Structure 1
Amino acid sequence: MTWHYTGFQRFTDVWEGKPGVLMPALHKFSVYGWIGVPFFFIISGFVICMSAWGRSPGEFMVSRVTRLFPAYWLAVFMTGTLLILARPTWVDKVKSLSYTDILTNLTMMQDGIAGRDIDGVYWTLYIELRFYVLFGLMMALGALTYRKAVAFCGLWLFFSAIASNADIPLLQIMLFPQWAPYFIAGMAMYLIYRFGSNLLLWCIIAFAWLLAQHQLQPVLRNYSADAQEKLSFTVTLALITLAFGAMIAVAMGWLDRIQWKWLTVAGALTYPVYLVHQEIGWWVIHELHAQVNAYVLVVSLIAAMLVLAYLIHRLVERPVSKRLKRGLDSALRDIRAGGGRQRHQPSGAGSGAHAESVSEERAATAELQP
């Protein structure tokens, strides 16, 4: 949140000035807040590998759909409604934003069909979605095993490196080489956590880090443009290395003695906070910055977003996810059984079967007669 509220300076209409001038002490740190994205991708690789273990591809699909979509659907409607009604001047896309754009965003596939994200943070969800598809395809080849997971990490790492310079758009779309190293490293870290470390897994993590630092330059240029200042490659790489180190500490069990009960709540709120904080937060800042001290406004807004995320989680995400899971589980059972209860029979098949039954009855009766 601090990145978008105090580090992001491309849209000066939000604060009607630059956050770096209004909050210089906070700004010099928050310009690197976007590094939470690659850190989240590492965590995602770890968690998805963990949650998929022992599940079928269908069960994995259900768990991902019920986790991603309920809160996302609400966030799309909230953000879309705000943009259409408020028409904020800092968002060029609202000039032509339509209800069709909002409906398209409900699929989470808008980036794949040349659509537009109505909230700037949604681009990461399309990457997550592609990761789930790749992982699901691997699971569809048979039960998830240690050998298969290691092979998947190695092959994805190799082909993503090739895809970065290959003039094959489909390959780049499916392997997303700029971000793949983080997911791969997270998966390898989970394998260390579950099965123990060995040289091969450490090599996968090391090569993932090497490819990540190579891909960092174009990423850094984009974020420097958003921050309206040149960001340090050295500082960025150091922070990303710390993110790798933090997850390695988890994988090695060095943090097992620490009580992380608060992480259950924090983890539940992270996703809805991420979905609603940018555009809605910018609108609140734009409306209140002239009346409230900048630091007070940022702290209050972060607190308000956490409360909003909690309400979304309790009142929408949890109940809708449960109902969605029941429906999808029922659909899975039908698929495994070869289909649900047949409601209608083709007329030809039904009449043919009836005629055959009548013919058999007549033949049996004729045999009994003298």
Structure 2
Amino acid sequence: MHESAAVLTRGRRLRFGGANLLRSLAVLAVLYSHISYYLIDDLGTGWWLIDAVYATLVAGLGLNQHLSFLGVAIFMMLTGLLLTASVLRHPPGRFLVNRIGRLLPALWVAIALAVLLVKLGVNGMFSGQDGITTGQSALSFVLGGFFLKPEVAVLGVTWTLVVQIVFYVYSVLTRPLLRAVPIAVPVLGAVLCCLVLLYNLYVPQPYSVPMLTKVAATLPAVFVGQILYLAWTRMASWRWISVAALAQAEVVVLATDIRAYWAGDRYLWTIAVVAAAVLALARYDGPLARWSVVRWTGTRSYAIYLLHTLILYRAYDWTVALVGKTGAVVVFLTATAIAAELLYRGIEVPMGRWIGSVASRIGAPPPRERDPSDTAGSA
């Protein structure tokens, strides 16, 4: 059965020429955030760039210390913006295989490296344990360590993939609603996020699931991206767009009040700033968006995101005495760029092509058999 023209219009693609520019800004914010956390909170030192960023973006623009959540919010908002059309266009099985499948190969390589570095004593755990067991290692490959009590995180940054996968599954489950009443999907999402936050706040151990608080507090950034898509495609009126946006704001306010966030109380403002940046840049297709450095950083942003914390701490510690703080950061960035290029070219691209090929066959109609009565035509 073919989809109607109206459904195809609702699932139409918009051209987002600034997506790589936004990904580049996001990954740079994440890199800065972890450098700042390490130098300020762990080492008790500083750096000239941290002073400059604090003066302009933290004290000046009012963002969180260390630019906490800024990069994550950009990545999350892009997820909602770019994938809403995809879930409408593609059959659920194809969508899930394509999206989750593309995350897994690079994730598994990064997790394997993280486990190896912990076993060798080069790196420590991101959740405070002295080491990691075989069972915990196995769970980490499916992000299960985040749901243990206490949490086991061999590669801390991968918690955001839990948020993305939850959004993928939610999108598939609410696909009929998205087709019928699109704006109801982010509104319902806000209600569910509030319920999860309240559940974990009032239900005692061992019945609470702390990781879900983090997921529920982060999903509003994804839903804001979805709301922007619905606004740009005129799938909802501005009145309901405003209602949906306010619903996400209420979730963020609740999450802030119950201290579901991990640094500061400026998360609502951060999401508002990110939304403004996405509005300004997502459809920008000027020279800056086509700059080769931006394109390289944007396309490698996932690999950079996965690998950078495996490299940062030892690269800095081993070189800072020789080349100084700025030199040590340059060494870290160079090593991360090389590792990300290898992961991108060696795993992410070839596996992504193969998974895309597999996904494209899911839900596709079988090839039409040739009717024996057909003729090849006269000579």
Length-normalised TM-score, structure 2:
0.72
RMSD (CA atoms):
3.3
Deviation at 1:76, TM superposition (A): 0.8
The runs of 5 or more residues in structure 2 that have no matched partner are 1-30, 59-64, 367-379
Correspondence 1:278 to 2:309: yes
1:136 to 2:165 alignment: no
Deviation at 1:277, TM superposition (A): 0.7
Aligned to 2:66, which of 19, 25, 31? Answer: 31
Aligned to 2:106: 71
| Matched-pair identity in % | 19
2:35 corresponds to which residue? 5
User: Which has the higher Rg, Structure 1 or Structure 2?
Assistant: 1
**1:244 partnered with 2:270:** no
Pick from 219, 232, 243 the counterpart of residue 203 of structure 1.
243
Q: Which residue of 2 aligns with 1:359?
A: none
Residue 161 of structure 1 corresponds to which residue in structure 2?
Answer: 194
Aligned partner of residue 82 in structure 1, secondary structure:
helix
Q: CA deviation at 1:219?
A: 5.1
Say yes or no: does 1:216 pair with 2:238: no
1:325-369 Cα distance to aligned partner (Å, 9 max, x none)? 444555x369x88xxxxxxxxxxxxxxxxxxxxxxxxxxxxxxxx
User: Of 229, 232, 237, which aligns to 1:190?
Assistant: 229
- What residue is the counterpart of 2:219 in the other structure? 180
Contact 1:45–1:186 (CA under 8 A) maintained in structure 2:
yes
- How many angstroms apart in 2 are the aligned matches of 1:174 and 1:31? 22
Structure 1 pair 152/278, CA: closer, same or farther in 2 (3 Å)?
Answer: same
The separation in 1 between residues aligned to 2:271 and 2:164, in whole angstroms, is 19
Secondary structure of the structure 2 residue equivalent to 1:164: helix
Distance 1:258 1:211, change over 3 A: farther
1:305 pairs with 311, 320, 336, which one?
Answer: 336
- Give yes or no for contact 1:188–1:204 (8 Å, CA) kept in 2: yes
* Aligned pair partner of 1:268 in 299, 323, 338: 299
Change (3 A) 1:35 1:19: farther
Change (3 A) 1:158 1:305: same
Mapping of residues 336-355 of structure 1, within 5 Å:
none
Paired residue for 1:102, among 133, 137, 148?
A: 137
Q: Deviations over 1:112-149 (max 9, x none)?
A: 3556220111211112221211112123x48x52x343
Number of equivalences = 317
- Gap change, CA 1:328 and 1:245, over 3 Å in 2: closer
- Classify 1:259/1:23 alpha carbon distance in 2 versus 1 (closer, same or farther; 3 Å): closer
Distance 2:117 2:246 in 1: 44
Q: What is the distance in 2 between the residues matched to 1:304 and 1:64?
A: 28
Equivalent-residue separation in structure 2 for 1:216 and 1:258 (angstroms) = 38
Please show how residues 56-95 of structure 1 align to structure 2 within 5 Å: 56-88=91-123, 93=128, 95=130
Moved more, 85-94 or 1-10: 85-94
